[in-house]
Amino acid sequence: MPELIRGTCAHCEAEEVILKYARHTMCSKYACQAAAHLLVIARRSKAQSEERNPKAAAPTYCYKIHSIHGQRDVDPGQLTAKKRRNAVDDADYEDAYLVHGDFGEDADDDGYKDTRWVLLSDILTLSATDLKVVVTYEKTLNKRQEKKRRALEVAGDEE
């Protein structure tokens, strides 16, 4: 049989009583049981809210680019429904690249390989080697856009 814990009740301040409730801090009087119950409810609701809204993860940054897989001018997740339906303001434009690279919390962190959107302003802080990857991607992108433009002109001329 477990040992009974005796002490002063945290709620009614009765001395030398058996403490059973609220993690062995309150006695078994009805008022103390009710107070302990409210503490349990508060603890559960706090745990549930933390599950729904977990604390933000430690900020990570890209410190090595392996390859780039896309580019965007606007983050659609940051736009309201009205802005998505209508013309986007200049203030909402932010150049970002879909980067496969090494991400870590700081320079001492070996990090991990991942693919995520990285702002151009963050990429500009990287080494010249990493910037070459971006320049190469942009050249390839421009060549593809030129091919598309020519194909559309040819298709328009045929009509």
Domain count, the chain: 2
In-domain check, residue 1: no
pLDDT recorded at residue 150 = 92
pLDDT recorded at residue 136 = 92
Range of the domain at 69: 61-158
Q: Could you give the CA distance from residue 146 to residue 154 in angstroms, rounded to a whole number?
A: 12
pLDDT recorded at residue 53 = 64
pLDDT recorded at residue 132 = 92
Q: Could you give the CA distance from residue 65 to residue 103 in angstroms, rounded to a whole number?
A: 9
Within this chain, do residues 135 and 77 fall inside the same structural domain, yes or no? yes
DSSP secondary-structure letter at 66? E
In-domain check, residue 146: yes
In-domain check, residue 107: yes
Cross-strand pairs, 18: 6
pLDDT recorded at residue 56 = 54
Q: Could you give the CA distance from residue 88 to residue 84 in angstroms, rounded to a whole number?
A: 7
Give per-residue pLDDT as tens, 94-121: 899 999 998 888 777 888 899 999 988 8
In-domain check, residue 89: yes
Taking 70 as the pLDDT cut, the residues of the chain under it are 1-2, 50-59, 159
Within this chain, do residues 30 and 68 fall inside the same structural domain, yes or no? no
Within this chain, do residues 79 and 113 fall inside the same structural domain, yes or no? yes
